[in-house]
Amino acid sequence: MPLVTTKDMFKKAYEGGYAIGAFNVNNMEIIQGITEAGKELNSPLILQVSSGARKYANHTYLIKLVEAALLETDLPIALHLDHGDTFELCKSCIDGGFSSVMIDGSHHSYDDNIKLTRQVVEYAHANGVVVEAELGRLAGIEDAVDVSAEDASYTDPAQVQDFVERTGCDSLAIAIGTSHGAYKFKPGQNPQLRFDILEQIETRLPGFPIVLHGASSVIPEYVKMINDNGGAMPDAIGIPEAMLRKAASMAVCKINIDSDIRLAMTGVIRKYFNENPSHFDPRQYLGPARTAVKSMVAHKITEVLGSNGKA
Ligand code: G3H
Ligand code: 13P
Ligand code: ZN
């Protein structure tokens, strides 16, 4: 099956009360782990590439790895640019075969965000590619830019209709209390998301797909594995799975997960080296890391997203 856009996936997910996992990919093992889980569970998938991932792995390598995954799985897979920050970057990914791009104008003023998003939408739609935009600003780290909690801001529901109408975007990332990275809440803090804001957005944009960034749960098992094997991660707290399930049953159609992939791989690799200090064949530690990605993604698909059997 060729790459697909997210249009049909989101329509079905919205109507079915589930969400599609958007998993960040940086290398072959990550792509294999995610897509093997998707294949076993017959789940649609979004594979997303940040500009950092594109610099690390090279556009062509990533495209070819995803093409291989399409051949191996025959699943509906969308290839998406995560946090595109310029028209030129989005254009390069559209020209280079991606089926979906995000233009993240959330760091700009409202009017400049609209202008930039509109420019990307016009080019993308002319080329059969869909566009995710962002309104509101998440805390945390993206592409080495650290947005402090004070600089973060919730999405204003009063703006969403105007923003979507004026930009023509196909989906909208919103800020309701999730954040990027492994340290989403402080120790002792009770994790909360602003479901009231999500409800208001849903009312103002009926049927329109909403995206949740910063949605890793920071799975404690992997943080413990890292720390039990020589790591030194301070208390890391993510988004409780029950909240993600609730969001998926509402207007949220895309749930972004990167940190949980990083934690799973790092935990397993640290454990491997702790137990096998003399080994040096990359297949010996990257193999178990790939298996960990696969089982973590399978857990997300069945227990959090509900996208199993929906391909
Ligand atoms: O939101 C950011 C993603 O986790 C990608 O991270 O820019 O370090 O690849 P990265
Ligand atoms: P996490 O850091 O919570 O995995 O979020 C990833 C993300 O939003 C990618 O865009
Ligand atoms: Zn993000």
Per the structure, the count of domains in the chain is: 1
pLDDT band at residue 149 using 50, 70 and 90 as cut-offs: low
Name which residue sits closest to atom 5 of ligand 2, judged by CA: 214
Task: State whether the beta carbon of 134 lies less than 6 angstroms from ligand 2.
Answer: no
**What average pLDDT is seen over the chain?**
96
pLDDT for position 219: 97
Percent of the chain at pLDDT > 90 equals 93
> What pLDDT is stored for residue 78 in this prediction?
98
* Pocket, ligand 1, Cβ cutoff 6 A: 24, 50, 52-53, 82-83, 142-143, 180, 258
Give the model's confidence band at 150: pLDDT under 50 very low, under 70 low, under 90 confident, else very high: low
User: 164: Cβ below 6 Å to ligand 2?
Assistant: no
The residue range of the domain holding 145 is 7-217+235-258
Mean pLDDT of 139-158: 76
Is the pLDDT at 260 greater than 90? The verdict is: yes
In a domain, 309, yes or no: no
In a domain, 157, yes or no: yes
Does residue 177 belong to any structural domain of this protein?
yes
Tens-digit pLDDT profile for residues 111-144: 999 999 999 999 999 999 999 999 998 877 666 6
Please tell me the distance from the alpha carbon of residue 30 to that of residue 200, in angstroms, as a whole number: 36
Residue 208's φ and ψ, nearest 5 degrees, are: -90, 130
Question: In this structure, which ligand is nearest to the CA of 263?
Answer: 2
Per-residue pLDDT band for 152 (boundaries 50, 70, 90) equals confident
Domain annotation covers residue 108: yes
Residue 1 within a domain = no
What share of the chain has pLDDT > 70, as a percent?
Answer: 96
pLDDT of residue 68: 98
Positions annotated as catalytic residues are 82
Q: Which atom of ligand 1 is nearest to the CA of 259?
A: 4
Ligand 2, pocket-test mutation among 49, 180, 223, 296, most atoms within 8 A of CB: 180
Q: Which residue lies with its CA nearest to atom 3 of ligand 1?
A: 142
The region of weakest confidence among 24-28, 132-136, 138-142, 251-255 is: 138-142
Tell whether the model's pLDDT for residue 54 goes beyond 70. yes
C-beta of 256 in contact with ligand 2 (< 6 A): yes
Here the CATH number for the domain that contains residue 170 is 3.20.20.70
Looking at residue 143, what is its pLDDT?
63
Check residue 124 and give its pLDDT: 99
| Closest atom, ligand 2, to C-alpha of 102 | 10
Residue 151's pLDDT band (boundaries 50, 70, 90)? Answer: low
Atom of ligand 2 lying closest to residue 257 CA:
4
pLDDT digits (tens, 9 = 90+) for 204-233: 999 999 999 999 999 999 999 999 999 999
Separation of alpha carbons 255 and 22, rounded Å: 6
CA of 278 to the centre of ligand 1 (A): 32
Q: How far is the CA of 281 from the centre of ligand 2 (A)?
A: 30
Q: Which pLDDT score, from 0 to 100, does residue 82 have?
A: 98
What is the mean pLDDT of the segment spanning 38-66?
98
C-beta separation of 176 from 155 below 8 A: yes
Cα-to-centroid distance, 145 and ligand 1 (Å): 10
For ligand 1, atom 1: residue with the closest CA: 142
Q: What is residue 138's predicted lDDT score, i.e. its pLDDT?
A: 87
Question: What is the reported pLDDT for 55?
Answer: 98
Q: Is the CB of 212 under 6 A from ligand 2?
A: no
Tell me, using a 6 A CB cutoff, whether residue 258 lines ligand 2.
yes
Closest Cα to atom 1 of ligand 2:
214
Q: For the segment 159-204, what is each residue's pLDDT rounded down to a tens digit?
A: 999 999 999 999 999 999 999 999 999 989 999 999 999 999 999 9
pLDDT at 139: 74
**pLDDT score at 140:** 72
Q: What is the mean pLDDT of residues 294-306?
A: 98
